[in-house]
Structure 1
Amino acid sequence: MYVKQISTVILFLLLCANLSAQQINLKSPDLNLAVSPTGQITAMLNPKTNKNYLAPGVKAPLLKIRTANDWEEPAKAVFNPKSGIMTLDFAQSKISADIKVTQKKSHLVFELTGLSAKDKVKAISWGSYPTIIGQTIGEVIGVVRDGEYAIGLQSLNVKTIGGLLLNDGGADDSRGSVALTQAYGSSLQAFSLDRSKARKTTVWTQYPDMPVSAIPGETTIGSKIAVFGCPENQVLSRIGVIEVEEGLPHPLINGVWHKQSPETGRAYLIGDFDESNIDAMLDYTKQAGLMSVYHESPFLSWGHFALNPVSFPNGNAGMKTCVDKASKMGIRIGVHTLSTFINTNDPYVTPVPDKRLALTGSSILTANISPDATEITVESDQYFKNLKPSTLHAVQIGEEIIRFRTVSTTAPFKLLDCQRGAYGTKAAAHVKGTAAGMMMDYPYNTLFPDFNLQQEIAGNLSRFFNETGVSHMDFDGHEGCFSSGEGDYGMQAFADKVLKDTKHTVVNGTSRSSHYYWHNCSYWNWGEPWYGGFRESQGDYRLENQPFLERNYMPNMLGWFLLSSTTTAEDIEWMMARAAGYNAGFALVARYKNLQKNPNTKELLALIKLWQDAYRSKIFSPDQLTRLKNPENDFHLEQHNKGWNLYPFKKFKFEHAKQVLQPGQPTFSEWNFVNNNAEQPLNFSLTFMGKEGVISNPWIELDGYFKLELPGEYEAGNSIVCNGTTIKIYNSKGGFKQEVALKQAIPTLKPGKHTIKFDCGFPEETELTNRFVVKTISKPELIAK
């Protein structure tokens, strides 16, 4: 009898062991996952084709944990199908993790619901999950696809950061690492950090050992992801379903999910409207057919976001009046700020600085100081000697901000040449043992918040939107959230709070791509169009961005362009041809005075609207779209009652360099070209290429009878542009310098062969060359309605 009982127990234990050692099969209609008894994913199947997309021979832990500085993979996995709980055991650390598994029609959900020793776990990582898909890698959205099938990973809350854990703060300076190209295809990954304990981290690689306060209760428990597979052409709609089912941000524009709305990615105008000129600025915006008029600098300061009373004497009520006027015209009002950057004139800084301003570190005073002391002795120089990234040299002691020149190099360490009571704070006496904190700043004369103040600032923004109805913004400077020491979590939490607390949809963009924020974000765009001419500023970057946007399911955007008082129709059509080629939006920086001063404003805005109407109506053929994308090509577009005329331009490019010839031998260059089209104005540009130096007295001769002399000196980078009736000179950044007075009319180009001669004076030592381009307009390509 006793032997029989023992046998029964042994049989039961063997059955349990066999049960626990079984493969775990998790299913959705478009993706099945198999998990081994050791917690490794062993298959990622498309059940409709039975194809396994898991990369062979590569580890694929469902979940890893990090204790101290070591990552550990699970040794054992057991799944209870009734409760939906999968328990992973980690043998080395003797920690177990409970994961709630939910198998849905559209996706699989994994949520970390428990850890046997959560205080020991500093971080967790979902994956990496290796796949054999390598054709298109959406590094931000976390979707990989091969033309037919796609697999994706979505973080389902702010604490779960899509991508690789690269540092203690969880910051990623790359554009995205949720999906990465690998030799075997691609990998998908996400992580979560325990932020519930105070720690030190490095911020922006410039601030080592920066103390970061704890966020109470913010552990890795609750980290949650969705994994899905589907046909490639269903990816975007599938993500929309996941958003709704899992409570992710799912903004609507006129009742349509913003990722599928025709309003998303539309071009907008950046200008300087105010209560007095809003009607005119709205009229300009309507003429151009743009989505929004967006104020580039509406606030007196960032932080509290009080409007500048010069532009808005009635404050938020005045802005709301602007919004109401715009709304009646179907136009949005937008405002610009730098996210969490705080001006030194903001109430968070003056007259009493907030205790939650970001500090890169601190030390204590080793002696009492009086209100007029110009040397302050501190226990350690650790944070005060790191002056390279600092532009303000500012220290916070109690309710005073003090600026100093430098810190002594030997003990006792002293802050030298102190300027007391900076930024309107009050100089005061401070006692030995008081903390002195080195403030984090930025060259825009701004400071930063810690995480708690950052979230309060998010609330200030949403309150402004709610009170005014403003419905457009960019999270410019979004990376400023790194000042909290919370990495990408800080960025995600800030934007999420702003938009959740706002009671209406806010169309919003950023130049910083990040995974969770993707669900909130309407577009990725970028600014600063003042580095070169209209066409040159950030030119390559504009085009390089387009494949990046497309593989991450974001609307194409071309960045910012500056419309000045001298911008020409040719420049506008160059911009709009690129926009048409990529079906892209853009931002047009057009200040009120420039719109008023440019004699061709009405024509320019009409061209912008004309081109937008054309490409939003999808009139262009694939061949035309390919040519429109090429920045070397110029076009002119017209509309008529039967459809459209697209006029391509043909360019003839020539170059003239300094020549060393025999005495008396002519040094000019002679070029030939043929105009195969109708008689038309002579259209050319002459650019003086090189980094420095000047050329003098250039001249141009057409067909052996018309000579155009341009006396004077011209610097490297200058250009001369002729449209057939006027000649204008521009500087190296495309800024207008002057118009050349003509003594006689410029002849037109008749059909047939033409000859141009060109010469100029060069300095003795020069690397300058001259680029001469003649542009002729071709016969129109007819596009029927």
Structure 2
Amino acid sequence: MKRIKILFFLSAFFCLLSANAVSRPLYRFSTKYMSLTIDDRGYIVNIIGKANKKDYAVKGHASPLLTLDKNGKILLPQTADYESTKGILTLNYADSYRAAVKIDQRGDYLKFQFQSLNTGAEIDNIIWGPYQTNIHKTIGEIISVARDDEYAVGIMALDDNTTSGPPVAGDMGQGSYIIHSPDPVKFPIPSSLKAGQRFRIGGDGINDVAFYSHPEEYYRFMNGNGAEYIPEYGISLTLHARNRRKRQTIFFPHFNDFPSIKAPRHMDVEPIPVDFSTSGIAFYACPDTKGLDVIEQIVRKEGLPYVTRNGKWIRRPENFKVDLAWFGKHDSLVSYANQLNLKAVQDEGLGEYYVNPVDRWAGKKVILDGKKQPITALTVQTNPQGIAYGLHTLTEFIQSHSSDVHPYANDSLCTVLKTILAANIGPNDSSIIVKDTSYLNEHGGWDDNGTNVLKIGKELLKYKGVTRKAPFMLTGVERGAFKTIATAHQQGDTVAKLQVNCYSGFIPDMRLQDKYAYFYAKLLRDGGMNYIDFDGFESFVYTGHGQYAFKLFMRKLFDDFKSLGGDYLQVMGSCVFEGNWHYMTTCNIGGGDHMFNPRTNKWGIEGKDIRYSWASNYFPPTFGIQNLKPDWTVQMVENLQAKAIAWDATYMFGISEDIVEKNPHKKEIFITFRAWENAREANVFSQKLKLEMQKEENQYHLEQIGTKAWKLYLVDSSGKFHLKSHLKK
């Protein structure tokens, strides 16, 4: 992992060296909002914003258009030629490597499409960039964008195997805090800290809330590596595409960083028939107010996943809505949702759902008229009302009760290593000799949870370790684990150590993952559901294929859902990464005061961290689940709605029949809640008004006075209303 961790820094270092060489402009490319110059070495030397004439390239830090990674050796372009009639840029590297990239000027953006490499068998990755910018303010680490108040400069992958950031172990950037102030005047960095300084996230890797441990505004939580902050000059952007046909042994996972219980362990990543031959990216620079418009054009023109709701792209703030988290019996669900003008329901009361092929409904039933009934008994009511209903799943975490575990373990459970039996064993033998230790003394897989599981044939075995000298004998062996059947095995049979998840279960490999995508699509269609929550979304990381695994699953899920007759599918989940950004409507994780306190209008630490990260990447921040309580006032609900609109945030409003009936203000709360939701849907709040509404001390009351008209009041400390403005559609 050390080799991979320094890869990006080597790239930046060599860019500096190369920039000092004598070069001349080779060709200037143009879009609606920028001009970009590539020199005769294959480096980007200018990124000029047409609107303000500023150059967003870093002087003295030219950016290689395409970098090669050969077994950890960084190859930077040395010379370049451009054939303008064909739009082909040829890049020449050390060791006689030569790459061709087609460049198209596509109106709002440039398209860089990899064409060929004269000999690519030894190349592990092609790296787009790193592209250095002199922008400091807003780090878009998830989708590789740098933003300030004037301009946005960004890159976007145009195929599934081109993924976020430079190559790292498991192809997932490591979560961390860095020191970066969103406003150096308002939130100055103390002298004891330095801009760009990195800190581990909080907690022990078990309690999600503990990840978020720094309330100070200048502690910036990083959720990806598509953009890196380099204080000396600004924000650097990178994407890469891996040759996944090659075998690789990694320290796993680079993604998490909890040394006490999650120290990296070895993993032999399963090769799959995917490489960088189809890699391509879009490069754009535009006024920041146009950033979302340009990205939407890229998505549509390049055939990227384009998910819409009511005819509008889900990334559009005017399409953001509050969802419902439902608890308890379901008789009033449709009525309540309609009264509140909410169009999506996550059934929290039914608990977590795990995939089990032989029991696909897992006992999940709704309660109507005092009886447990199939989910379809509810969705025949929700669907005609345009209300999306769905379950809280644990994505692809396989638990021990699954038929993919027992009585016969599935051959497509994800593995971390393989060796072979050195001698025959019978069904009752506990003395088992293996050919070599193969890191078998490392505990667990992703997690050091004390779960060491081997698979031989269809049998699962637990063990504690392996002797360090030949003959290599397993210790603490338990045969027929997880209700599998102990059988005889032959010398030379494969012994596979399984990847275990954080719930002491297992993970599908890339082949079984495809089947799970279809499983979920069929479950949704058969249940009349068009909403799903993927808690445990990070389960895709366990295969070692990182963002690519996310993209592969999500593409197949959506394709299968559509082929089965589905239309709009609303996806919620536990995390936002480059691999799922296109598909997710919301990410209403967490909740309560950790996210946002409607009594005080204060963001919690987790809410602050998520707000900075997701908003920087054109994704809605969240208040998580905000559960209505018997003592909630109308003003608390108005605070939630006002601040959600002000920050372009979403959340889930948690209710049940029981809790609604216990609140003495239920009628007023429902009327007021709907007024805000109607006004938000009508998009009557200007950006100037939203900025004013963000202020913690400001409280508001909204009154609907017509089908498309509202009165907005400021509420003073005594609770009195003062008319501020009339809002009209």
Question: How high is the TM-score relative to the length of structure 2?
Answer: 0.78
Note the C-alpha offset of 1:151.
2.3
1:375-429 per-position Cα deviation (integer Å, ceiling 9, x unaligned): 5443427224414613543222211122345556766554444433233321222
| Secondary structure of 2:556's aligned partner | helix
The letter for the 2-side match of 1:115 is L
The equivalent position to 1:42 in structure 2, one of 45, 50, 70, is 45
The letter for the 1-side match of 2:86 is S
Quote the Cα distance in structure 2 between the aligned partners of 1:783 and 1:510.
37
- Kindly report which structure 2 residues correspond to 1:204-603, keeping only aligned pairs within 5 A, or say none: 204-205=253-254, 206-216=263-273, 218-260=274-316, 262=318, 264-272=319-327, 277-296=329-348, 297=350, 301-302=354-355, 304=357, 306-309=360-363, 311=365, 318-378=374-434, 379-380=436-437, 382-387=439-444, 389-405=448-464, 407=466, 412-503=471-562, 504-527=567-590, 529=592, 539-563=604-628, 572-591=637-656, 594-595=659-660
The letter for the 1-side match of 2:439 is Q
- Kindly report which structure 2 residues correspond to 1:176-187, keeping only aligned pairs within 5 A, or say none: 176-182=224-230, 183-187=232-236
Quote the Cα distance in structure 2 between the aligned partners of 1:596 and 1:779.
27
| Secondary structure of 2:64's aligned partner | coil
Quote the Cα distance in structure 1 between the aligned partners of 2:591 and 2:423.
47
Quote the Cα distance in structure 2 between the aligned partners of 1:355 and 1:35.
50
The letter for the 1-side match of 2:272 is I
| Secondary structure of 1:65's aligned partner | strand
Q: Is the 8 A contact 2:170 2:541 kept in 1?
A: no
The equivalent position to 1:151 in structure 2, one of 150, 153, 163, is 153
The letter for the 1-side match of 2:345 is V
Cα distance, 1:565–1:424 mapped onto 2, change above 3 Å: farther
Q: How many residues align?
A: 633
Q: Provide the residue aligned with 2:8 in structure 1.
A: none
Cα distance, 1:52–1:633 mapped onto 2, change above 3 Å: closer
1:178-210 per-position Cα deviation (integer Å, ceiling 9, x unaligned): 233332232222111110122212222445321
Larger Rg: 1
| Secondary structure of 1:396's aligned partner | strand
Note the C-alpha offset of 1:116.
0.8
| Secondary structure of 1:87's aligned partner | strand
Higher relative contact order (CA 8 A, sep 6+): 2
Q: Is the 8 A contact 2:637 2:673 kept in 1?
A: yes
The equivalent position to 2:138 in structure 1, one of 136, 139, 152, is 136
Note the C-alpha offset of 1:280.
2.0
Note the C-alpha offset of 1:159.
0.8
Q: Greater CA deviation, 53-62 or 205-214?
A: 205-214
Q: Is the 8 A contact 1:171 1:487 kept in 2?
A: no
Cα distance, 1:29–1:574 mapped onto 2, change above 3 Å: closer
Cα distance, 1:473–1:265 mapped onto 2, change above 3 Å: farther
The letter for the 1-side match of 2:488 is A
Quote the Cα distance in structure 2 between the aligned partners of 1:533 and 1:584.
11
Note the C-alpha offset of 1:597.
6.0
Quote the Cα distance in structure 2 between the aligned partners of 1:169 and 1:784.
51
Q: Is the 8 A contact 2:25 2:37 kept in 1?
A: no
> Is the counterpart of residue 105 in structure 1 residue 90 in structure 2?
no
Q: Is the 8 A contact 1:265 1:557 kept in 2?
A: no
Percent sequence identity over aligned pairs: 26
Q: Greater CA deviation, 328-337 or 478-487?
A: 328-337
| Secondary structure of 1:119's aligned partner | coil
Note the C-alpha offset of 1:155.
0.9
Q: Is the 8 A contact 1:362 1:383 kept in 2?
A: no
Note the C-alpha offset of 1:337.
1.4
Note the C-alpha offset of 1:601.
5.2
Specify every segment of 5 or more residues in structure 1 that has no aligned partner in the other structure, as ranges. 1-19, 651-775
Q: Is the 8 A contact 2:169 2:253 kept in 1?
A: no
> Is the counterpart of residue 89 in structure 1 residue 70 in structure 2?
no
- Kindly report which structure 2 residues correspond to 1:13-24, keeping only aligned pairs within 5 A, or say none: 23-24=26-27
Q: Is the 8 A contact 2:701 2:721 kept in 1?
A: no
| Secondary structure of 2:375's aligned partner | helix
| Secondary structure of 1:463's aligned partner | helix
1:480-519 per-position Cα deviation (integer Å, ceiling 9, x unaligned): 1111111222222222222233212212233422235322
Q: Is the 8 A contact 2:158 2:282 kept in 1?
A: yes
Quote the Cα distance in structure 2 between the aligned partners of 1:375 and 1:312.
50
Note the C-alpha offset of 1:547.
3.5
The equivalent position to 2:36 in structure 1, one of 24, 33, 40, is 33
Q: Is the 8 A contact 1:495 1:517 kept in 2?
A: yes
Note the C-alpha offset of 1:447.
1.1
| Secondary structure of 1:259's aligned partner | coil
The letter for the 1-side match of 2:572 is G
Note the C-alpha offset of 1:599.
6.5
* Alignment RMSD: 3.5
Q: Is the 8 A contact 1:139 1:177 kept in 2?
A: yes
Cα distance, 1:628–1:407 mapped onto 2, change above 3 Å: farther
Quote the Cα distance in structure 1 between the aligned partners of 2:534 and 2:354.
16
Q: Provide the residue aligned with 2:249 in structure 1.
A: 200
Q: Is the 8 A contact 1:301 1:345 kept in 2?
A: no
Quote the Cα distance in structure 1 between the aligned partners of 2:503 and 2:511.
22
1:303-339 per-position Cα deviation (integer Å, ceiling 9, x unaligned): 548113351699xx94344333112222111222122
Note the C-alpha offset of 1:298.
6.7
Quote the Cα distance in structure 2 between the aligned partners of 1:351 and 1:419.
15
Q: Is the 8 A contact 2:356 2:362 kept in 1?
A: no
Quote the Cα distance in structure 2 between the aligned partners of 1:532 and 1:580.
15
Cα distance, 1:633–1:237 mapped onto 2, change above 3 Å: closer
